[in-house]
Structure 1
């Protein structure tokens, strides 16, 4: 079991807007909040978001470089994936792989893919039958 994941972000305000829209839909609740970061928790696991210091912003992030490629969350059903897709679209979030949605992860995966403000790919999926 993972205890927590900490992500450095380039723009805390934009990151918070994105994850405030997404994480409550997945059963997470706000856990910590301070001037340079915030976190969301579900059960014993939590995700921390921290503003990157200015001197480290220039390098930027790219999921194809060494490091984290994406984060995948479980959804309880295909209906939940559909509801999350609709909510994120309403929030102005672009859905990736539109031409293959919701099977962009393959025939056995019912999922939505999107990018957070730093272009970290986020997947919300049901594996198997989709229900």
Structure 2
């Protein structure tokens, strides 16, 4: 059966976890487990773990390098995406493509793009 089972996001500093906790719970993900420096969130049969680990190399995250560029999440109705975009900067997520919001992905695509201080990019797509 196709679908995403889980995703592990490694962060450099435990302080970066706060950004992810706010975003994922705001988007309706449920906290499944917590430990010092990490949390696991569940939704729709999949889970996302966000954690520090001693196995990371000492280099900043760069979404423009080969690998994952960004994660796209379902954001609900356009008004919900608008509220999230308004609230996000107070929680560590800065808006991207402000001059083209909410149609940076094209005229039929209503979404907001955010980046946290660690350089992780997410897209929040309206229904």
TM surpasses 0.5: yes
Moved over 2 A (4+): 89-93
- Deviation track 1:61-104 (CA, whole Å, cap 9, x = no partner) reads 21111111100001221111111112213335321111111111
Where does structure 2 lack aligned partners over 5 or more consecutive residues? Answer: none
Q: Is the contact made by 1:114 and 1:123 (CA closer than 8 Å) also made in structure 2?
A: yes
Q: How many matched pairs?
A: 125
1:47 aligns with 2:48: yes
Cα distance, 1:57 vs. partner?
A: 3.5
Q: 1:117: which partner in 2?
A: 117
| CA RMSD, Structure 1 to Structure 2 (Å) | 1.7
Q: 1:96: which partner in 2?
A: 96
Query: Separation in 1 of the partners of 2:34 and 2:47?
Result: 13
- SS of 1:58 mapped into structure 2: coil
Q: 1:11: which partner in 2?
A: 13
Cα distance, 1:40 vs. partner?
A: 1.0
Query: Separation in 2 of the partners of 1:118 and 1:90?
Result: 15
Query: Separation in 2 of the partners of 1:59 and 1:24?
Result: 28
- SS of 2:22 mapped into structure 1: helix
